[in-house]
Structure 1
Amino acid sequence: MQLSEITFETGRPVDGYGPNFFRVAGEVFEGKLAILPGSCGPWAGFDDPSPFVDAAKDLDVVFVGTGAQIAHIPPNFRATLEGAGIGVEIMNSPTACRTYNILLSEGRRIGLALIPV
């Protein structure tokens, strides 16, 4: 039985989240998380834009989930990603996860930087 009308041809959708964790394609990750085309794993946070810059050729935009509430991100993090040709969209983490899943189902070139709720 299919519970969702959304199908994912590529990528790993976010299945759930909670206090200090995210579940991505059935796998649970604790703490901050970077989801990129072809990879998913722990992320050091705003001081480390390298996972996204290294994947710049495969990304058009990175959604940044700032936790339970929307918050400002460090200007240098945004500038580094934009300097690599990557768009940056900031929202709270639940909204970032939902938006990511929808665009992933459309086959878009997206990444996700997540701070837990």
Structure 2
Amino acid sequence: MSLEVSTLVAEGSKMVTSYGDGIFRFGEETVTGSILLFPEAVYSWNVTTKDDITPDSFSRVIEKADEIEILLLGMGTRLTPVPIEWRQALKPHGIVIEPMDTGAACRTYNVLVSEARRVAAAMIAV
């Protein structure tokens, strides 16, 4: 099942247009599996469940810390608590992690990018 996401205009930025069935769409571009999403780029993320995530899973996010204030964490179909070590890995770099289900992360990401906020998203495919 592919779910459509309301698309706001953010010129030159990656915006999620739909997700589901293990894929994410950005207009005509499709990415299979979990992703790390930045306004200018999308990367495959080697994570299939929350249990696959370690502080090292956020290394690409930390590399771009000067461009990010908020990391939206799409945790799949349901929200679960974020381990303190994930927050501790990001906090020294000025990044706040906000967990939510993947659908909410897609919608929130689009809104924040359209507002020119310094946001990235790490999303488990659903």
TM superposition score category, shorter chain reference: 0.7 to 0.9
- Aligned partner of 2:87 in structure 1 is 78
Letter in structure 2 aligned against 1:17:
Y
What displacement does 1:5 show? Answer: 7.7
Partner SS for 1:14: coil
- Aligned partner of 1:22 in structure 2 is 24
Change (3 A) 1:103 1:73: same
What displacement does 1:39 show? Answer: 1.8
Give unpaired runs (5+ residues) of structure 1. Answer: none
Q: Report which of the two has the higher share of helix.
A: 2
What displacement does 1:78 show? Answer: 2.2
Quote the RMSD (CA, aligned, Å). 1.7
Q: Please give the TM-score of this superposition, normalised by the length of structure 1.
A: 0.88
Given the alignment, which residue of 24, 28, 43 partners 2:45? 43
- Which region of structure 1 is more displaced relative to structure 2, 92-101 or 70-79? 70-79
How do 1:1-117 residues align onto structure 2 when only pairs under 5 Å count? 6-45=8-47, 46-47=53-54, 48-117=57-126
Q: Please give the TM-score of this superposition, normalised by the length of structure 2.
A: 0.82
- Which region of structure 1 is more displaced relative to structure 2, 16-25 or 101-110? 16-25
1:102, 1:44 → 2: CA distance? 26
* Matched-pair contact (CA < 8 Å) for 1:37–1:58: no
Give unpaired runs (5+ residues) of structure 2. Answer: 1-5, 48-52
What displacement does 1:95 show? Answer: 0.4
Change (3 A) 1:68 1:82: same
Partner SS for 1:49: helix
Runs of 4+ in 1 over 3 A off after TM superposition: none
What displacement does 1:66 show? Answer: 0.2
1:112, 1:17 → 2: CA distance? 14
* Matched-pair contact (CA < 8 Å) for 1:65–1:92: yes
1:39, 1:21 → 2: CA distance? 16
1:66, 1:57 → 2: CA distance? 24
1:37, 1:56 → 2: CA distance? 13
